[in-house]
């Protein structure tokens, strides 16, 4: 029998009509912590098959306020549009602000970037790894919904490795192309040159 690595409490499933399509939403909580994640999905659960999937780390600055400093918000919207178009898919929205260092530290990292450091150097300066995220919980959420085969919307190879290690088959990587602008250029090129993004 498979034993979950993380105890999850699954909330109610509700309808969520949005600007980008009609979805359903389910919140999850990691038992014993205050960490809450949420999934947005379209399609019939427990129907098997391959699910177009986005594992998205929260980014208050971009997802909510539309910041140009990174590409998160645009990736989220693009993912919603692609899932709507396909009629089947899921976004696992993880409470993993600032690549897992939290909002306060991310904003300190932004301050250091205003002084010339790149995103990797700023994290290191604050005593963190360049990326502190762990995607195990995303795999656990997918498995709890009986989703085991995915087409993953990402440019980050770490997410693919983590899914495979946690028993989710990534049948395809679907790249997300986001336009550079004067504010996100350094951020995006650092992801390519220093963080192994594709």
The answer to whether the beta carbons of residues 90 and 163 sit under 8 Å apart is no
Quote the CA–CA distance of 142 and 135 in Å, as a whole number: 11
Per CB under 5 A, 112 contacts Zn ion: no
List the x/- string, 20-59, binding to Zn ion by CB under 5 A: ---------------------------------------x
Quote the CA–CA distance of 109 and 96 in Å, as a whole number: 15
Per CB under 6 A, 101 contacts ligand GTP: yes
List the x/- string, 67-96, binding to ligand GTP by CB under 6 A: ---x-x--x--------------------x
The answer to whether the beta carbons of residues 122 and 109 sit under 8 Å apart is yes
CB-nearer residue toward Zn ion: 69 or 88: 69
Quote the CA–CA distance of 50 and 163 in Å, as a whole number: 14
Q: Would the annotation count 79 as a binding residue?
A: no
What residues form DSSP beta bridges with 24? 15, 41
List the x/- string, 34-63, binding to ligand GTP by CB under 6 A: -----------------------xxx----
Residues 6+ apart with CB under 8 A from 180: 188
Task: Check 63, 71, 118, 131 and give the catalytic one.
Answer: 131
Q: Would the annotation count 55 as a binding residue?
A: yes
Quote the CA–CA distance of 15 and 23 in Å, as a whole number: 6
Can you read off the two tokens belonging to residue 61? 């600055």
Query: Which positions lie near ligand GTP, rule CB under 6 A?
Result: 57-59, 70, 72, 75, 96-99, 101, 106, 109-110, 119, 123, 154-156, 159, 176, 191
Query: Which positions lie near Zn ion, rule CB under 5 A?
Result: 59, 62, 70, 72
Return the active site residues.
131, 133
């Amino acid at each position: 029998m498979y034993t979950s690595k993380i105890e999850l409490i699954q909330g109610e499933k509700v309808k969520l009509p949005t600007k980008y399509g009609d979805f359903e939403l389910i919140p999850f909580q990691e038992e014993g912590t205050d960490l809450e994640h949420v999934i947005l999905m379209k399609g019939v659960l427990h129907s098997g098959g391959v699910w177009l999937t986005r594992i998205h780390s929260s980014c208050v600055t971009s997802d909510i306020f539309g910041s140009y400093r990174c590409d998160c918000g645009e990736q989220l919207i693009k993912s919603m549009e692609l899932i709507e178009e396909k009629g089947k898919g899921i976004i696992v929205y993880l409470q993993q602000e600032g690549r897992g260092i939290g909002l306060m530290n991310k904003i300190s990292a932004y301050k250091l970037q205003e002084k010339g450091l790149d995103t990797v150097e700023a994290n290191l300066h604050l005593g963190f790894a360049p990326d502190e995220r762990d995607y195990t919980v995303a795999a656990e959420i997918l498995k709890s919904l009986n989703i085991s085969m995915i087409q993953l919307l990402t440019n980050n190879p770490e997410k693919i490795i983590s899914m495979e290690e946690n028993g989710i088959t990534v049948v395809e990587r679907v790249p997300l192309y986001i336009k550079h602008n004067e504010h996100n250029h350094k951020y995006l090129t650092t992801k390519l040159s220093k963080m192994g993004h594709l």
